Chain A
Amino acid sequence: MALQEFLQELDQLVTEAKSSFSDAVDMDALEAFRIEFLGAKNGRLKSAQKMMGGIEKPDKPEAGKTFNATKQAIELAFEEASERLASGGGGAVDPTFDASLPGSAFRIGRLHPITQTIEELKDIMGRLGFSVADGPEIEDIRHNFEALNIPNEHPARDPLDNFYLATAGLGDDVLPQWLMRSQTSTVQIRVMETTPPPVRIISLGRVYRPDTADATHYPMFHQMEGLWIDTNVTMSDLKTVLRLFATSYLGGDVSIRFRPSFFPFTEPSVEADYYWNGQWVEFGGAGMVDPNVLKEVGYDPEEVTGFAFGLGVERLCMRRHGVTDIREFYKNDVRFLEQF
């Protein structure tokens, strides 16, 4: 072959190699090009080398020199391309890829805000050593009233203030025997009846009291009641536990105060308030369990004492999350549920 032709070939080879190497988008592509140009057996450089055999003897030195330069140029181009790809820079840009488009849509449901509140309460009380106790929502007179020291004449028993069940087939003058529980202390009675002290429990769940539904009242709501009976429990323990609870719930130092009140099942009875953000806020009712109640479940008031406290879950939830209408909790508008 003529020298001129050979030199043109070599020139072409360098141009093509450089172009291919810089177009390679990744290491695999680059490798393919390397094999094409620099491959030991069938690479184009190798083929060009073989062509040198056909060069005229006086042209051989120039041909060889140009060949070596070509080889170096191609190898250099390869190294540069390798470095570029290894450092991750550049490569072919895909103009159709828009990183700001939204990610895939997934739908996750939400737990009801009342459930969320209850789970948090269980959590905090659990850490304070209170286990969860459960019981029926439909109660008999004994557990809802008698055992809680609420005698027949007490206004709390009034038929207009409770959801007594209508017992089918029996006349109106038969005393109603079952009702939908008006407090969760019924569960506490059940536990005490079947467990010897010490008892440290919370009972949570739905309770029912006749009330016209409006922004702050609903005939069905949730209560949490705590109970601790042991040989040495005092009102100071009650105040302390309430303070620990409130502090854990609010996440800051909280103080508790008692105001005298009256509940048939506690004596002394108090309303407990906690101090937060510059004001006293109502927490719920509390007190030492009345000795009559202790005797009723078979405990000896000379051996053990105990306290009980209760709070309304809806009120707590509304306060924390800024809900202003209690009826929203039971409407189940998904836009409401999704806010929590």
Chain B
Amino acid sequence: MLVSKNWLTEYVSMDMEQQALEDCLSMTGLNHEGTEPVGEDLAIDLEVTSNRPDCLGHIGVAREIAVLYDQPLSIPNPQPAANVSDASDSISVSIQSPELCSRYTARVIRGVKVGPSPEWLVRRLETIFKPLNPQWEPVNNVVDITNYVLMECGQPLHAFDLAQIAGNAITVREAAADEEFEAIDHHTYNLQPGMCVITDEDGPVAIGGVMGGAQSEVTESTVDVLIESAVFDPLATRSTSRALNLFSPSSYRFERGMDPEGVDWASRRCCELILEICGGTLEQGMVDAGEKAQARSPVTLRLNQIVRILGISVETDQVKRILTELGNEIVSADELQVEVVPPTWRRDLSREIDLIEEIARIYGYDEIPEDAKVPMAASAKTDSDRVLEKVRSVLTGVGFDEAMSASVVTEDWASVYSPWSSAQPLRNHTPMLKGADTLRPSLVPSLLESRRINQSLSNPVIELFETARVYLNQGEALPQEIRLVGVTTGQDYFYLKGVISRLLTTLKIDAQLAVESVELDLLHPSRSAKLLLDGELFGFLGEVSDAGLKQFGLRSAATVAEIKLELLEKHASLIPQHSAISTMPSIARDMNIVVDESVSWAQIESVVAQSAGAELQTVKYIETYRDPKQDGENRKRILLNVTMRSDERTMTGEEADTIRENVVAAISEKLGGQLLG
């Protein structure tokens, strides 16, 4: 918000050094954003946080300066002389929608001379409006005065041409559906229920809190003026503004909440200036509908709480000075506490802690030391962090780069691959990035898109992984989030399976990794699998199908996998235990067996494990070979190696041979396999 330096001098001495003032304001709550000369004046740009609507006017800013520099603050006390006739004879006001407008006041001035505003007024308004709107021009003295008072105290006002108010009665109500209205900006707006309108007998004359009407605006031909000073509901004003895409300095202030007492002051001030500058006579009294301001409750500040919250003590005299100069009225005080009634323009001060914040910011945050003796506390790394660290360490060590991609994707990506859930994917009301409004149920499409982007940049090696969540719809219950590791490589199924196995080994996971067939269109029908860890669903792995490659614009083969971090955490052995290392040598035997094509390695391995006895150390797959001429169709040869070791003695060659015979026999019986010579 821009304030004029010359204007501020009206209320507080502005002799201090400009830079020092700007720094001081930044350090105490009004962040200085810039200063620009306008004519002989300075336009000072200050950031006003949403909890300080009292600073949305020059008097509020002047008050801050007065407190900071311990200077007197001089505020006008408008008491415009009124003539004998009552305003209530000229206008009546009724509020039909108190939830949209809690108070509406009106004053009437007769016989004004509408013309150009005096120089001093124009200069002040120019300083604060022209920098943001170079086309700004004053309107006329009456309208300019309403803007002046708005920017003086922060209370929005509106002036109507009284002759244009049909029936001399104002009704404040909710707009009807599709009610049309032409505003001062000469646009016609289509109003809806929920919006507040000020109406006369014929219809809307203003959108409450936002903008007045073209028909009833004050012009050169206006003689009698109605001054509106009201309180409109913050939420309603904001939603009206947004819905109509119509914003004004008035709507801005109503959104943030107004001082209920300020309504009357602003109305009197406006009338006083109009009488002074435009002439005319003010009718007696103020027509006042709706609820009056409620008396504020006192707030007690226990002095020992200051050091408890801030860590520093502040002398009681300082505390009292600061509170008083900010407008709080001290009701009682002793060595332990101060009781105050906060001013009506500070609705943000209602608790002890709010007062403590005032003390802190005016006294100065630089007084708070930064070398306190902070006690130590224990903190340990979580298990899931430890697991994640190892996962990242293995994957980067093997050559994968870590990627990060958006959690929200387009609908077709979400529907093309969702192996974890068949429920409808979750969507946002508002899209996040171009058309993306679906919470992703899988990391794979995002990884494939990363492949495509890298491909288009001619990066030849694309090995990526991402650790992130996917989001699954659970109907009425809060959506489920699963933490996954997603990986993509240009290599094949077995390469990626090897990487996953490596993760399991590094985490010392004993659990059995098993595969099941799976049907997912994105993946190759055979070269893909559902992964299980000790029987629980662990993940999905597969080479991308031709259709999948096409869908994602990929020119070369890719393999993808996604696994659950939770299962890794469940089975990981984070504190490996030493076990005795055998002093006995191991002995190995190769086996070349021929089986039907349909027999899986998992089956063979299982049979070997069951039949080899306690001395079995490892079963290792070596290779597959097919020779239809020798073995017939649909047969394959599997070469495997078995190592054995006994803890008690050195095993003999004969013992190893016997075990091999047992294994071969079991393979023959259970799987129909034969040993080759």
| Chain A interface (Cβ < 8 Å from any Cβ of B) | 106-112, 114-115, 122, 125-126, 128-132, 134, 136-138, 140, 152-153, 155, 158-160, 162-166, 168, 176, 178, 180, 198, 200, 206, 208, 210, 213, 219-220, 234-237, 239-244, 255-262, 267-271, 288, 290-291, 305, 329-335, 337-338
CB–CB A267/B403 < 8 A: no
Chain A: CB-nearest residue to B376 = A129
A200-B379, A332-B464, A334-B459 in contact; A236/B372 too (CB < 8 A)? yes
A155-B255, A220-B432 in contact; A239/B370 too (CB < 8 A)? yes
Rounded to whole angstroms, the CA-CA distance of A259 and B385 in the bound complex is 35
Is B457 positioned at the interface, with any CB of A under 8 Å from its CB?
A: yes
The interface residues of chain B lying within 8 Å CB-to-CB of A219 are 432-433
For this complex, 8 residue pairs linking A to B, each with C-beta atoms less than 8 Å apart, are A138-B439, A152-B235, A153-B235, A159-B429, A165-B426, A234-B311, A267-B354, A330-B406
Is B345 positioned at the interface, with any CB of A under 8 Å from its CB?
A: no
Is B629 positioned at the interface, with any CB of A under 8 Å from its CB?
A: no
CB–CB B404/A260 < 8 A: no
Rounded to whole angstroms, the CA-CA distance of A312 and B481 in the bound complex is 23
Rounded to whole angstroms, the CA-CA distance of A231 and B235 in the bound complex is 38
Is B494 positioned at the interface, with any CB of A under 8 Å from its CB?
A: no
| Residues 264-319 of B contacting A (Cβ, < 8 Å) | 307-312
Rounded to whole angstroms, the CA-CA distance of A261 and B30 in the bound complex is 9
Contact of B378 among A110, A129, A138, A338 (CB under 8 A): A129
Contact of A109 among B398, B437, B459 (CB under 8 A): B398
Cβ contacts B372-415/A at 8 Å (1 or 0 each): 10101111111011000000100111111111111110000000
CB–CB A131/B365 < 8 A: no
Contact of B404 among A112, A176, A242, A271 (CB under 8 A): A112
The number of A-B residue pairs with CB atoms under 8 Å apart is 232
A160-B430, A163-B432, A290-B353 in contact; A168/B424 too (CB < 8 A)? yes
Chain A: CB-nearest residue to B437 = A166
Q: Which one of B377, B401, B479 has the greatest number of beta carbons of chain A within 10 Å?
A: B401
Contact of B309 among A111, A235, A260, A330 (CB under 8 A): A235
Rounded to whole angstroms, the CA-CA distance of A337 and B465 in the bound complex is 12
CB–CB A258/B365 < 8 A: yes
CB–CB A330/B459 < 8 A: no
Contact of B471 among A128, A131, A138 (CB under 8 A): A138
Chain B contact residue count (CB 8 A cutoff): 86
CB–CB A198/B429 < 8 A: no
Q: Which one of A108, A241, A334 has the greatest number of beta carbons of chain B within 10 Å?
A: A334
The interface residues of chain B lying within 8 Å CB-to-CB of A234 are 307-311, 372
CB–CB B365/A220 < 8 A: no
A109-B398, A236-B311 in contact; A155/B382 too (CB < 8 A)? no
A159-B429, A234-B308 in contact; A262/B49 too (CB < 8 A)? yes
Q: Which one of A198, A270, A332, A338 has the greatest number of beta carbons of chain B within 10 Å?
A: A332
A132-B382, A206-B407, A234-B308 provided; 9 other pairs, C-beta below 8 A?
Answer: A109-B395, A140-B478, A165-B427, A219-B432, A239-B372, A240-B369, A240-B370, A240-B371, A256-B370
CB distance from A304 to the nearest CB of B (A): 11
CB–CB B457/A259 < 8 A: no
The interface residues of chain A lying within 8 Å CB-to-CB of B555 are none
Chain B: CB-nearest residue to A177 = B478
| Residues 606-653 of B contacting A (Cβ, < 8 Å) | none
Rounded to whole angstroms, the CA-CA distance of A305 and B424 in the bound complex is 44
CB distance from A199 to the nearest CB of B (A): 10
Rounded to whole angstroms, the CA-CA distance of A162 and B426 in the bound complex is 15
